[in-house]
């Protein structure tokens, strides 16, 4: 049987989707397994995947709504399936203990809704803000805000390393 992994993402403005795509490239190249990248809202089944990575960005303290929906819809299949979770957001613009704790705390509500979901790894990554991908009103609002200044804070080395370590762990759990 071919080993197949799913990377499901929740993303408003595509920077998290780009992380998911990069993760898939890394795993395909290094692990020689099949990897599919699918928007969380479009996932139809989980039974054909031996392991799953799920990731989302954050807006106003909330994950993309497709993530909770995915977890609830597939709660039975997720029980016992090797899983990892990652978050990309501006809180993680700077990787320090306080920001890691703040970001990790966002998972508490989500995990409590679906206790069957027990990710073995949690990736915490800086995100990106691209005004061209935001609605006009957001753009106007953020242009005046230092906190929401445009920039790309994704650390691709860190993302690649996490991807390799996590996929190793997921595949070990499966085999
Ligand atoms: C309207 C808006 C609200 C946001 N709210 C938060 C937030 O509450 N906490 C945070 O850490 N980042 C926040 N961010 C930053 C995003 O999580 C970050 O830019 C992320 O990389 C966007 O991913 P996406 O392009 O996949 O949507 C916000 C961004 C936008 C545009």
pLDDT tens digit sequence for 146-171: 888 899 999 999 999 999 999 999 99
Q: Indicate the pLDDT class of residue 174, thresholds 50, 70 and 90.
A: confident
Q: How long is the chain? A: 175
Tokens of 25: 């490239």
Ligand 1 atom at minimal distance to the Cα of residue 64: 27
Q: Of residues 173 and 40, which shows the higher confidence score?
A: 40
A 10 A CB-CB count for 55 gives 25
- Residue having the nearest C-alpha atom to atom 18 of ligand 1: 89
Ligand 1 atom at minimal distance to the Cα of residue 13: 25
Q: Is 104 in the pocket of ligand 1 (CB under 6 A)?
A: no
> What number is the average pLDDT over the span 28-54?
96
Ligand 1 atom at minimal distance to the Cα of residue 129: 19
- Residue having the nearest C-alpha atom to atom 29 of ligand 1: 59
Residue 175, pLDDT score? 63
Tokens of 37: 């990248």
Q: Which residues pair with 22 in a beta bridge?
A: none
d(CA 87, CA 54) in angstroms, rounded, equals 9
Residue 13, pLDDT score? 96
Residues 82-103: tens digit of each pLDDT: 999 999 999 999 999 999 999 9
Q: Is 58 in the pocket of ligand 1 (CB under 6 A)?
A: yes
The vertex-133 CA angle with 101 and 16, nearest 5°, equals 40
Q: Is 15 in the pocket of ligand 1 (CB under 6 A)?
A: yes
Asked if pLDDT for residue 81 goes beyond 90, the answer is yes
Three-state SS at 129: strand
Ligand 1 atom at minimal distance to the Cα of residue 9: 26
Q: Is 11 in the pocket of ligand 1 (CB under 6 A)?
A: yes
Distance 40 CA to ligand 1 centre (A): 17
Asked if pLDDT for residue 12 goes beyond 90, the answer is yes
Asked if pLDDT for residue 15 goes beyond 90, the answer is yes
d(CA 85, CA 117) in angstroms, rounded, equals 10
Residue 74, pLDDT score? 97
| Backbone Cα Rg of the chain | 16
Residue 46, pLDDT score? 96
Q: pTM (2 decimals)?
A: 0.96
- Largest CA-CA distance found in the chain, in angstroms, rounded: 54
Contacts of 167 (CB under 8 A, 6+ apart): 5, 27, 30, 31, 51, 53
């Amino acid at each position: 049987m071919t080993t197949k992994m799913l990377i499901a993402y929740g993303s408003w403005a595509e920077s998290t989707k780009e992380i998911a795509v990069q993760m898939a490239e890394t795993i395909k190249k290094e692990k020689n397994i099949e990897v599919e990248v699918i928007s969380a809202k479009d996932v139809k089944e989980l039974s054909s995947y031996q392991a799953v990575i799920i990731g989302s960005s954050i807006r106003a303290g909330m994950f993309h709504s497709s993530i909770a929906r995915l977890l609830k819809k597939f709660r039975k299949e997720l029980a016992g399936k090797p899983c990892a979770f990652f978050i990309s957001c501006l809180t993680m613009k700077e990787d320090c203990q306080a920001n890691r704790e703040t970001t990790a705390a966002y998972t508490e509500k989500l995990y409590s809704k679906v206790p069957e979901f027990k990710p073995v790894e949690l990736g915490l990554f800086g995100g990106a803000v691209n005004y061209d991908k935001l609605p006009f009103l957001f753009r106007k609002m953020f242009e005046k805000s230092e906190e929401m200044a445009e920039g790309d804070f994704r650390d691709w080395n860190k993302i690649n390393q996490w991807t390799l370590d996590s996929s190793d762990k997921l595949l070990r759990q499966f085999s």
